Amino acid sequence: MTFASRVRLLCLTSALTVFAATGATIFSVLPAFALSDIKDITPPAADKAAPDPTEPGIDEEGEELLPEDASPAIPDPDPLIKPADQQDTAAPEPDSAPVEIIYDIEKAPEPVRRMRQLIIDAATSGDISRLRPQMNPGPDQTQVQLEGSDRDPIDTLKSLSGDPKGMEILAILLDILSTGFVHVDKGTPDEAYVWPYFVGKQLGQLTPVETVELLRIVTAGDVAEMQEYGNYNFFRAGITPDGRWKFFTAGD
């Protein structure tokens, strides 16, 4: 090898050594990029249509975008006065007429008046067995409790009384028949003249006079309980228009 060739080889070797040293330094200084930091610079396809500005889209927060010329639709309010063909034609149902309270016994049919007096005479005697003839023994026997029973009606009344002879029941019967009465279920098989009139009246609508009349039959505690439930639930007596003693019961 000639001297000139040696010189060129040494120069080339030195140059490679310097380049290797400086290159390593440069690459160690440059920051490393993550794959996620590399942005896609691929140009959009030429045949992809641009978005229509009039169609709704989704913004960065996931909310639906409305077209620039669109605004939320607000429904028109109903007119204060509707046209005649759109007005509600259904009329409100009228309240049921109050039951007439009758105090004059002469307004009741004669058979009713007669049976009432017979019951009063028997109760005044103090002998509860004297009610038996008025109870119409047989299929149409006077009902003395809410559920049917084969038990003797006089025995049933005694069992309901606070004393063994049924005196309390006789007193209650007299108090009831001394009040006003009502005519219920007109024109039906259940038609009857019923004492006391509280069975046909809302207890929350009692006048002071009517409240006193009710307190002649029951206690103040009973009245408070009845008003809580809204109806009279003590004893009542009913006589049919043809003069049959139909029932003498207690309950709703």
- What are 133-168's pLDDT values in tens digits? 999 877 789 999 755 567 789 999 999 999 999 999
Number of domains in the chain: 1
27 inside domain: no
Share above pLDDT 90 across residues of the chain, in percent, rounded to a whole number: 48
Q: pTM of this prediction?
A: 0.61
How far is it, in rounded angstroms, from Cα 50 to Cα 207?
Answer: 83
pLDDT of residue 229: 85
How far is it, in rounded angstroms, from Cα 233 to Cα 37?
Answer: 88
Of residues 176 and 95, the one with the higher pLDDT is: 176
pLDDT of residue 26: 42
Q: pLDDT digits over 114-139, tens only? A: 999 999 999 999 999 999 999 987 77
Which has the minimum average pLDDT: 72-76, 151-155, 205-209?
A: 72-76
94 inside domain: no
Asked if residue 189 lies in contact with residue 198, where contact means CB atoms within 8 angstroms, the answer is no
Question: Which residues, at least 6 apart from 146, have a Cβ–Cβ distance to it below 8 Å?
Answer: 249, 251
Mean pLDDT (whole number) for 65-82: 54
How far is it, in rounded angstroms, from Cα 236 to Cα 251?
Answer: 9
Backbone angles phi, psi at 236, to 5 degrees: -145, 150
pLDDT of residue 209: 93
How far is it, in rounded angstroms, from Cα 181 to Cα 99?
Answer: 10
9 inside domain: no
CB atoms within 10 A of CB 248: 27
82 inside domain: no
pLDDT of residue 18: 46
175 inside domain: yes
pLDDT of residue 221: 93
66 inside domain: no
Of residues 73 and 14, the one with the higher pLDDT is: 73
CB atoms within 10 A of CB 231: 14
How far is it, in rounded angstroms, from Cα 248 to Cα 235?
Answer: 7
CB burial readout 128-157, b (16+ within 10 A) else e: bebbeebbbeeeeebbbbeeeeeeebbebb
Query: What would the 3-class secondary structure string for 39-63 be?
Result: CCCCCCCCCCCCCCCCCCEECCCCC
Question: Mean pLDDT of all residues in the chain?
Answer: 76
How far is it, in rounded angstroms, from Cα 234 to Cα 18?
Answer: 122
Asked if residue 99 lies in contact with residue 146, where contact means CB atoms within 8 angstroms, the answer is no
Mean pLDDT (whole number) for 11-31: 47
58 inside domain: no
Domain range spanning residue 131? 105-249
pLDDT of residue 38: 46
pLDDT category, 113, cuts 50, 70, 90? very high
Residue 154 to residues 40, 129, 175, 187: CA-CA distances in angstroms? Answer: 106, 6, 19, 31
CB burial readout 94-118, b (16+ within 10 A) else e: eeeeeeebeeeeeebeeebbebbeb
Q: pLDDT digits over 239-248, tens only? A: 999 999 999 9
145 inside domain: yes
Identify which of 23-27, 41-45, 48-52, 155-159 has the greatest average pLDDT. 155-159
Cis peptide before 79 (omega within 30 of 0): no
